[in-house]
Amino acid sequence: MIERYTLPEMGRVFSDAHKYELWCQVETLVLEAQAEAGTVPADTVRPVRDAPPPAPERVAEIEATTQHDVIAFLTAWADNTEPRDAAAWVHFGMTSSDLLDTALAAQLVEATDILLAKADTLVAALRDHALEHRNTLRVGRTHGIHAEPDVWGHRVADFAFGMARSRDRLRRAREAVGVMAISGPVGTYSNIDPAVEDHVARRLDLRRADVSTQVVLRDGISEWVSALAIMASACEAVALEVRHSQRTEVRELSEPFGKGQKGSSAMPHKKNPIMSERICGMARNVRAQVVPVMEGIPLWHERDISHSSTERIALPDAAIATDYLLHLTTRLVNGLVVDTERMRANLDATHGLIYSSTVVSELLETGASREDVYALVQAAAMRTWEEDVPFRETLRAQAAEHGVTLDEARLDEVCRPERFVQRLGGVFDRLTELS
């Protein structure tokens, strides 16, 4: 991921320097377990543990010749080990995937914990915003068309619960991805004792794979990336709502617009929803990683490395982009400007058409058939659309033509916008419990 969208904490998790730190940690833990078992000389542990991780530049220099990243790493690390002979026992009995998959599991768990903390923050921001606007009337829309009265807090509550589910889904995926294996070539433990795998798993707080055939099957990693894609899409849902509502014709919501900020190089009046558009664009990048990672599940026999090149790009990009999305969506929610007066004006913009369903229900009480009532109300509504005449007037005229008597006082009562949202209390009660 480019620097523009990489936040420092997550960027470090996926840096080469940190990767080699994890590789050193895994190799040292294996060496410790083997030394305790008497498999390797006990005096090799301290020199190896004290050797600083190799510089990424040095590993890259060696890899240019070896064309093998693990061998390049081991060679560069051995150069940092005093005495160098102690490094001869590093990687004893292991194969490359033992190191790579175990360190990757630790890396992805670390990245997940950063994401979960930010998801908690976003859930809280959405919850608090929804509760603040539990009485803010607005028009609900379906297909982009005015439907019935609603409250803004109801819409945001849906986002809050959706993000909470996304967070909980990622928590479960953390378990699926925190899986390691140190089982040697083709996973048969031919050159390494399973007790070593147990030791490393405990020390890294990871779970041993139930079985590995030199590589850990990529279903867990695929679940993790899928969870990120859903979380990114939940962020996009929030941003898309803002984008629609910041349009000039709607103007119910707007992003924060800072002092000195510019909206257009040509048109000084512009205040564009750039944060929301960026969120929508970045979410595509996260979703784009799902299929390539899933294609790493089927591999040739016990192992190939067709998954490797994909994961070097897909996993950091998915995590870094999701991290940025959570950060940016939280900023968006916390700085969101809600124009309550404009919401009310838009609620009334269709001259009462948003009460058509209530009128149908009321007229059905007269004993008329649903088909007749629907035809009457629809005819009145179409006249309001076409002639821009208040719905109550067209309804009154249409009812007179059909010999139907309207109870005006009753319609006044049932066509209040507050009536449509009076049963939402349970939603907000549940929302107050969301954490």
CB neighbours (10 Å) of residue 40?
22
Radius of gyration of the chain from its Cα atoms, rounded to whole angstroms: 30
Q: At residue 180, what are phi and psi to the nearest 5 degrees?
A: -125, 170
CB atoms within 10 A of CB 352: 19
Q: Which of 361, 352, 64, 258 is nearest to 76 (CA)?
A: 64
Given the structure tokens 């119910």, which residue do they identify? 252
Q: Which residue, among 303, 289, 286, has the nearest Cα to 98 in the 3D structure?
A: 303
Contacts of residue 161, Cβ cutoff 8 Å, sequence gap at least 6: 431, 434
Query: Is the preceding omega at residue 83 within 30 degrees of 0, hence cis?
Result: yes
Which residues are identified as catalytic?
A: 143, 264
